[in-house]
Structure 1
Amino acid sequence: MKHLKYFFLWFNLILVACIPQEDGPQQQIDFEFKAISNVAYGEHERQVYDIYLPANRNENTSTILLLHGGGWMEGNKSDMNPFKDFLRDQLPGYAVVNMNYRLADQNHSPYPMQLEDITSLISHLESNRDDYQIGEKLGFVGASAGGHLALLWSYTRDVNEQVQMVCSIVGPTNLLDEAYLNTQNSELKGMLDLFGADEEMLRAASPLFQLQDKAPPTILFYGGKDPLIPNSQGISLKERLEELQVIHEFHFYPNEGHGWIGLNLLDSSLKLKAFIEKNF
Structure 2
Amino acid sequence: MTPLPRLLLACLAGLALSIASPGAGAAAGGAPSPPPAKDFFNRPLFGGAVISPSGKYLAARIAQAGGRTQLAVIDLASRSAKVVANFKDADVVSVQWVNDQRLVFESFNLGSVASGGKFAASMFAIDRDGGRPLLLASDAPNKQLSGAASPYLMLASRITLIDYDGERDSDLVYAIEPRQDGPKENAYANLWRVNTIDGSHERLKGPAQATGWVLDRHGEPRLATTFEQGKTVFHLLGNDKQWRKLSSVAQQIGPGYTIAPLGFGEGNTLYVTSNGGADKSAVYRYDMAGNTLDAAPLLALDGYDFKGRLVIRNGKLLGVQYQRDGEGVQWFDPALQQMQDAIDKLLTGTVNVVQLPQEETAPYVLVRSYSDVQPERYYSYERATGKLARVGESHPEIKPGQMGMQEEVRYAARDGLEIPAMLTLPAGKRKNLPMVVLVHGGPWVRGSAWGWRADVQFLASRGYAVLQPEFRGSTGFGRKHYLLGWKQWGLKMQDDVADGMKWAVAQGIADPARVCIAGASYGGYATLMGLVKDHDLYQCGIEWVGVTDIDLLFSPAWSYPDDISADHKRYTMPDTIGDPVKDAAQFKATSPLAQAHRIKRPLLLAYGGKDQRVPIVHGTRLRDAVRDSNPDVEWIEYPNEGHGWYEPRNNIDFWTRVERFLDRHIGAGR
CA–CA distance in 2 between the matches of 1:173 and 1:154? 12
Structure 1 pair 121–246 and aligned structure 2 pair: CA distance change class (3 A): same
1:51 corresponds to which of 413, 416, 423: 423
Alignment check: 8 A CA contact 2:40 2:458 kept? no
Query: How far does residue 188 in structure 1 lie from its aligned partner after superposition?
Result: 5.9
Partner of 1:99: 469
Match of 2:546 among 161, 171, 194: 171
Q: Does 1:125 align with 2:504?
A: yes
- The DSSP-based 3-state class of the residue aligned with 1:78 is coil
Amino acid at match of 1:15: F
CA distance in structure 2 between the aligned counterparts of 1:141 and 1:214, rounded to whole angstroms = 14
Q: Which residue of 2 is the match for residue 40 of structure 1?
A: 410
1:86 equivalent among 447, 458, 472: 458
Residue type at the aligned position of 1:135: D
- Aligned ranges 1:192-207 → 2 under 5 Å: 192-193=573-574, 194-197=576-579, 198-207=583-592
Task: Identify the residue that residue 8 of structure 1 maps to in structure 2.
Answer: none
d(CA) in 2 for partners of 1:207, 1:222: 16
* Structure possessing the higher relative contact order (Cα contacts under 8 Å, 6 or more residues apart): 1
1:210 maps to which residue? 595
Structure with the bigger percentage of strand = 2
> Residue 28 of structure 1 corresponds to which residue in structure 2?
none
SS in structure 2 at match of 1:233 = helix
Matching of residue 139 in structure 1 with residue 516 in structure 2: yes
1:242 aligns with 2:621: no
The separation in 1 between residues aligned to 2:650 and 2:588, in whole angstroms, is 32
Q: Which residue of 2 aligns with 1:4?
A: none
Q: 1:260, 1:214 → 2: CA distance?
A: 26
Larger Rg: 2
Mapped partners of 1:230, 1:16: distance in 2: 26
Count of equivalent residues: 247
Correspondent of 1:185 among 561, 565, 571? 565
What do residues 131-158 of structure 1 show as CA deviations (whole Å, max 9, x unaligned)?
A: x3x3113101201111111110121123
Amino acid at match of 1:109: K
Deviations 1:31-56 (A, max 9, x none): xx9745221112656x1122233335
Instruction: Look up the match of 1:109.
Output: 487
Do the aligned residues in 2 keep the contact of 1:213 with 1:246 (CA within 8 Å)? no
Alpha-carbon distance between aligned partners in 1 of 2:655 and 2:625, rounded to the nearest angstrom: 24
TM-score normalised over the length of structure 1: 0.76
Matched, 1:15 2:41: yes
Q: Aligned partners of 1:107 and 1:241: how far apart in 2?
A: 28
Q: Which moved more, 1:36-45 or 1:178-187?
A: 178-187
Query: What do residues 154-203 of structure 1 show as CA deviations (whole Å, max 9, x unaligned)?
Result: 21123xx2311111111100112341799662376266432212111111
Moved more, 175-184 or 144-153: 175-184
Q: Residues of 1 paired with 2:586 and 2:422: CA distance?
A: 31
Q: CA deviation at 1:106?
A: 9.3
**Counterpart residue number, 1:68:** 440
Match of 2:654 among 254, 268, 273: 268
Q: Percent identity?
A: 23
- Contact in 2 for aligned 1:188/1:228 (Cα 8 Å): no
Offset, 1:212: 2.8
Tell me the distance in 2 between the aligned counterparts of 1:187 and 1:264. Answer: 33
Q: TM-score, normalised by structure 2?
A: 0.34
Which stretch of the first structure deviates more once superposed, 182-191 or 142-151?
A: 182-191
Residues of 2 paired with 1:256 and 1:17: CA distance?
16
Deviating more after overlay: 183-192 vs 216-225: 183-192
Q: Name the one with the larger helix percent.
A: 1
Alignment root-mean-square deviation, CA: 3.2
Please give the alpha-carbon distance, in whole angstroms, between the structure 2 residues aligned to 1:114 and 1:139. Answer: 18
Which residue identity lines up with residue 195 of structure 1 in the other structure?
I
Partner of 1:6: none
CA contact (8 A) 1:84 1:98 kept: no
The separation in 2 between residues aligned to 1:222 and 1:58, in whole angstroms, is 34
Relative distance call for 1:107 and 1:64 in structure 2 (3 A) is closer
Tell me, in whole angstroms, the C-alpha distance in 2 between the residues paired with 1:100 and 1:245.
Answer: 30
Q: Does the aligned pair in 2 maintain the 1:50–1:98 contact within 8 Å?
A: yes
Counterparts of 1:276 and 1:213 in 2: how far apart (Å)? 21
2:577 maps to a residue whose letter is F
Deviations 1:83-125 (A, max 9, x none): 2111112x12x22212211215598223212112112212322
Q: Out of 155, 161, 182, which is 2:532 matched to?
A: 155
- Secondary structure at the aligned position of 1:266 is classed as helix
Structure 1 Cα separation of the partners of residues 485 and 665 of structure 2: 39
Q: For 1:246 and 1:266, locate their aligned partners in 2 and report how far apart those are by CA, in whole Å.
A: 26
**How far apart in 2 are the matches of 1:240 and 1:98?**
28
Counterpart-to-counterpart distance in 2, 1:121 and 1:214 = 21
Whole-Å Cα distance in 1 between the matches of residues 507 and 40 of structure 2? 34
Q: Give the counterpart letter for 2:527 in structure 1.
A: A
Q: Deviations over 1:199-229 (max 9, x none)?
A: 1111112111222356211101111111111
Aligned partners of 2:524 and 2:545 also within 8 Å? yes
Query: Judging changes above 3 Å, is the alpha-carbon distance between structure 1 residues 36 and 102 closer, same or farther for their aligned structure 2 residues?
Result: same
Code of the aligned partner of 1:53: L
SS, match of residue 116 in structure 1: helix
Q: Which residue, out of 233, 242, 250, partners 2:618?
A: 233
Residue matched to 1:29: none
Q: One-letter code of the match for 1:266?
A: I
Structure 2 counterpart of 1:259, from 644, 648, 659: 644
Q: Structure 2 unaligned runs (5+)? A: 1-36, 45-402, 474-481
